[in-house]
Structure 1
Amino acid sequence: MAITTDHIRTVISAYLDDHPEEKPGLAPALELLAADADLTSRKEFRGHATAGAVLVGGDGRVLQVHHLATGRWLLPGGHLEDGDTSLLAAALRELTEETGVPADAVTPVGDGPLHIDIHPIDANSAKGEPRHRHIDFRFLFTTTADIGALQAEEVADAAWRPVDELHDELVKLRVAQALSRP
């Protein structure tokens, strides 16, 4: 069954139970949900859901991809697809597609997202997309596997990078906290 707006609502609600201080930052997503917007639709330009992966290797480094469209090192992730059954499953699919790391060699750390980030995306005239927002559900995974075949149409390179090189301070903190738990 495809991801539903109710699933997104449930994931955000559980996330806010753990991180109530983040409610103001998630206000755009909450407002869209209150207006019954379809956050699963890539055509919802006020904001739509995406899924990302924070993959930590056996040595504690995080896998990042050099994204062709942005020219930046980012976490693997992307848009939801009709066959995705949950946000967690979408994050795992994106991870394996972009990096070639086999899904059976990846273990999720928890059921919910490590972080939810809302950020602007520039207009893309080639795709007919105006400036819009991504509501990015980032899930934490671990692995002992290495990088496989990259998704050449989206990813120029992939590398294991120190946690300190992540751009988001909150994600750095959450990764450290999650990995220090028994």
Structure 2
Amino acid sequence: MTFADADTTTTAAVRPPYPRSPSAAATSGRPVPHTIGVHLYLENAHGEILLGLRHPDCAYAGRTWHFLAGHCEQESAVACLVREAREEAGLLIDPGDVAYVHAVHLVDTPGTPPRMQLVFRARHWTGTPEVLEPDRCVSWSWCRSEALPEPLVPYARAAIDGIRAGRLYTEWGWT
């Protein structure tokens, strides 16, 4: 059977309709590429989450707590996560020990390109977090989820809340 032969009334009832509104960042009517970020949700044996305090002069969210994170650079999301964990904190993670736990699809500031922030949990890792990129992160801390430090990047808080509630997806900043 070809697509043209398919019963469209049944198909339409099963599939949700495509979004009709443009992205918050699209102003010209042309598609806007999304930046892909990866984030490490790491919990220790005490249930504490690893968060880093971003450097005051950082391009994004200076003096704010955030996940260990980075942008995909011509690599898979898991490969990016493994690379960033090693580069930023000296943590060694086997890709087989990584599981997807949440996504935040966001527009951080009106008029900026949308971002898809993928959050992964590592079940096992080797090493103790250390500051290896002091121009980006000034310290790493293990934080209890019920007493997260302030200020915390808002979409990181949304991801943590989503993970703790068992949700896989959050939208943030869309109008």
TM-score range, shorter chain: 0.5 to 0.7
Aligned CA distance change for structure 1 residues 104 and 149 (closer, same or farther; 3 Å): farther
- Give the % identical residues: 16
Please say if residues 131 and 139 of structure 2, whose CA atoms lie closer than 8 Å, have aligned partners that are also in contact.
no
Query: Where has structure 1 moved over 4 Å in runs of 4 or more?
Result: none
Q: How many residues align?
A: 130
Aligned CA distance change for structure 1 residues 174 and 64 (closer, same or farther; 3 Å): farther
Q: Which residue of 2 aligns with 1:54?
A: 41
Following TM superposition, by how much is the alpha carbon of 1:161 offset from its aligned partner in structure 2, in angstroms? Answer: 0.7
Please say if residues 107 and 143 of structure 1, whose CA atoms lie closer than 8 Å, have aligned partners that are also in contact.
yes
Q: Which residue of 2 aligns with 1:74?
A: 66
TM-score, normalising length from structure 1?
0.57
Residue type at the aligned position of 1:89: A
Following TM superposition, by how much is the alpha carbon of 1:135 offset from its aligned partner in structure 2, in angstroms? Answer: 0.7
Please say if residues 67 and 155 of structure 1, whose CA atoms lie closer than 8 Å, have aligned partners that are also in contact.
yes
Please say if residues 100 and 147 of structure 1, whose CA atoms lie closer than 8 Å, have aligned partners that are also in contact.
yes
Unmatched 5+ stretches in structure 2: 1-17, 24-29, 149-155, 168-175
Residue type at the aligned position of 2:123: T
- When Rg is computed on C-alpha atoms for both structures, the one with the higher figure is 2
Aligned CA distance change for structure 1 residues 98 and 139 (closer, same or farther; 3 Å): same
Q: Which residue of 1 aligns with 2:163?
A: 171
Inter-partner Cα distance in structure 2 for 1:106 and 1:115: 17
Following TM superposition, by how much is the alpha carbon of 1:107 offset from its aligned partner in structure 2, in angstroms? Answer: 2.9
Following TM superposition, by how much is the alpha carbon of 1:75 offset from its aligned partner in structure 2, in angstroms? Answer: 0.9
Following TM superposition, by how much is the alpha carbon of 1:163 offset from its aligned partner in structure 2, in angstroms? Answer: 2.3
Following TM superposition, by how much is the alpha carbon of 1:120 offset from its aligned partner in structure 2, in angstroms? Answer: 2.9
What is the CA deviation profile of residues 102-125 of structure 1, one whole-angstrom value per residue up to 9, with x for unaligned ones?
Answer: 2359932x3xx21110223459xx
Q: Secondary structure of 2:81's partner?
A: helix
Inter-partner Cα distance in structure 1 for 2:133 and 2:166: 28
Inter-partner Cα distance in structure 2 for 1:87 and 1:141: 13
Residue type at the aligned position of 2:165: L
TM-score, normalising length from structure 2?
0.59
Following TM superposition, by how much is the alpha carbon of 1:150 offset from its aligned partner in structure 2, in angstroms? Answer: 2.7
What is the CA deviation profile of residues 29-78 of structure 1, one whole-angstrom value per residue up to 9, with x for unaligned ones?
Answer: xxxxxx887xxxxxx4xx22111110111222111111222121111111
Following TM superposition, by how much is the alpha carbon of 1:87 offset from its aligned partner in structure 2, in angstroms? Answer: 1.2
Of residues 97, 116, 122, the one that matches 1:107 is: 97
Unmatched 5+ stretches in structure 1: 1-22, 29-34, 38-43, 124-129, 176-182
CA RMSD, 1 decimal: 3.6
Of residues 80, 84, 90, the one that matches 1:90 is: 80
Residue type at the aligned position of 2:141: A
Q: Secondary structure of 1:56's partner?
A: coil
Inter-partner Cα distance in structure 1 for 2:103 and 2:50: 18
Choose between structure 1 and 2: higher helix proportion: 1
